[in-house]
Amino acid sequence: MLLSLKHNFLFVHIAKTGGTSVRDSLRPLRLRDPWFVAQFLCSRLSSLSGHRLGIKFPRHSKIIAAKEMLPAETFDNLFKFVFVRNPWDLQVSSFHHIRRERPHLMSHIETFDEFIRWKLDPERPYQFHVDTSIELQSDYVVDLHGKVLVDFMGRYENLHEDFEEACRRIGVRAPELQHKRQAKDRKKDYRSYYTDEIAEAVAKHFARDIEIFGYTFDPAA
């Protein structure tokens, strides 16, 4: 999550949706914010008391954290945006990410089918800290009653154009979108990883994301 009081925006960062590129491209705006030093110091000092102020949030905080910790007027006036991604494509990205970054977790897994069965196994120990994409993307953008709180939802599939639109709404010239590391060994078409059974398993687990964001297994023409 990236908050800028000077430019009046809040970026909600969902993992594996291009968010690191967005954050790094917008970070200079935050560093030039006249409130940045005060926010940084207050955040560090408040942590000593065991009570963190809502001025600096963890990278993958949900928007409800900002709503609960920021003054209501401040939160309401922020331009709040997020980037989301097709759930089937996101799980392919997750597969390559974990295999690359934490291979010891997948020592018993050879195929993508096995990965999805392991990942969605209700008996598997809770491992959110290892793979945030097990959670619903929609959980990051709604309040406790399921109401969507963001003003703009960009899509990973349209990253450059939607990033430019977000910057236009912020009121700044869009900086060059920094590209982050992508898996070199993944196939371009995520659909090639799926059997009908595994595709249905992902559809069932991420049904609310599919409904809210309007995704389908086959990309829209």
pTM to 2 decimals? 0.84
CA angle 144, 20, 5 (to 5 degrees): 65
What are the residue ranges spanned by the domains of the chain? 2-213
Rounded (10°) CA dihedral 156, 162, 166, 172: 120
User: What local confidence, expressed as pLDDT, does residue 99 receive?
Assistant: 87
User: What local confidence, expressed as pLDDT, does residue 134 receive?
Assistant: 83
DSSP letters, 102-134, are -GGGGTT--SHHHHHHHHT-TTSPP-TTT-GGG
* Rg of the Cα atoms in the chain: 18
Contacts of residue 141, defined as CB under 8 A and 6 or more positions apart, other chains included, come to 12, 62, 63, 82, 148, 149, 150, 153
pLDDT in tens, the chain (221 residues): 899 988 999 999 998 999 999 988 998 887 677 666 666 666 666 667 666 555 567 778 899 999 998 889 999 999 999 999 999 999 999 999 888 888 887 888 889 999 999 888 888 766 555 567 888 999 999 999 999 999 999 999 999 999 999 999 999 999 888 766 566 667 889 999 999 999 999 999 999 999 999 999 998 65
CA angle 67, 54, 46 (to 5 degrees): 155
Supply 213's token pair: 């964001």
User: What local confidence, expressed as pLDDT, does residue 63 receive?
Assistant: 96
Fold of 2-213: Rossmann fold (3.40.50)
Q: Which of 177, 208, 221 is nearest to 84 (CA)?
A: 208
Q: Which of 163, 168, 159, 218 is nearest to 190 (CA)?
A: 218
CB of 4 within 8 A of CB of 78? no
